[in-house]
Structure 1
């Protein structure tokens, strides 16, 4: 299937959806604290999307081939859960880490992003893993420009993660997104420079590395959705939706509360600006 080249109207629609997706994460941030259940976080996000934003939670009843319909509005992946954790009765306690993955639909366009949250005081390991994963995502984003290749993104992510002693999950990847939740291209978080599809202005896709503190192998839970690390090590993930522009990239999932790019990417950007 061909990769979508979005029109200016499509890009405007994606900017709005992306910002709204990020604003859900801003909204829920103060509620992520010891004693809250993942189901309560889901309820709050669902009500904010539908009642305040007028958006639709894309995951709710989402049903790709071979799956049962996803039963909730958001994904809540705690500790050793890599992705697609289903909200429920789990009570968050101090020291937990949780990824909240939010996708909203606005006027037919999807805004997809996720962030890591610390519940109370995180361990040194958890904090370091989250920081490195955040750097991985942004290093991948920094490679986005016309003429670059998807392999360039995967390579820089893999190099940075493995240099830190971590591993990259390979069974799940970023994806094209627009009026369709998941479409071409697949955006692998590992690979070789100069390989795979060439990037062209108007492409929109997610970059969402899943990085494990231990080995990269996964195990699927009986609910058909939840994916955990096989060795029960911690996992982290960050996600943005990115547009390929004429000169580089634009991150579409930005809001007032979006964390800024890490120092490692900010320093690169400063070096790239002509004097």
Structure 2
């Protein structure tokens, strides 16, 4: 939706915002369903995830498949409301949604694949409005989102690192280890810089930069203040990263509103 707000200062926003809000909800949910289906046996060995319905046996695999079918059908219904360029672009992300849960078995970078998957909307939002993608703006926005995902999901993964070693799950939390704080600092700076660059290339106004500035402060607070060996602190840091994203979204939305009203 941030991509939409960057591109569309002179279009009617409510329909697109509703579509993308619903699409993001159901497709991220589908990704979680696929993840739980892939990992139902592994989840039993991890303290934080052993109570998940599939791992606990409260939901059967046929039931999960049926629910996934409902989620994907809803996502497809949303996608068909867009232009053909966006339909093809959106459909091309499905492979990432499917392979992501497997990545933790073969690479220490599953968080990077998650970032590529979750931030596809930075490209899709633009194409939905324009009928194509301005890659010079959308790619920095996309890359900034990927860096942001690496920050928050690495913090999230630190909650499970002890159990992950036992069952053979890989993550950037294990890869970064004691270097987590400086690496996440660099990723946070890269995320804010890339998103700010996208705004500059798109001619955004001052309220957009206010949003990215607030997001930078929030990410700095999270990275400095999180104890990566404490579950509660990691959860708090993970949630705090979400507020950084909210700041960017609100800055983009406020900038959209100010341009539409002719203020800036």
Give the structure-1-normalised TM-score: 0.32
More strand by share: 1
More helix by share: 2
Structure showing greater Rg: 2
Give the structure-2-normalised TM-score: 0.33
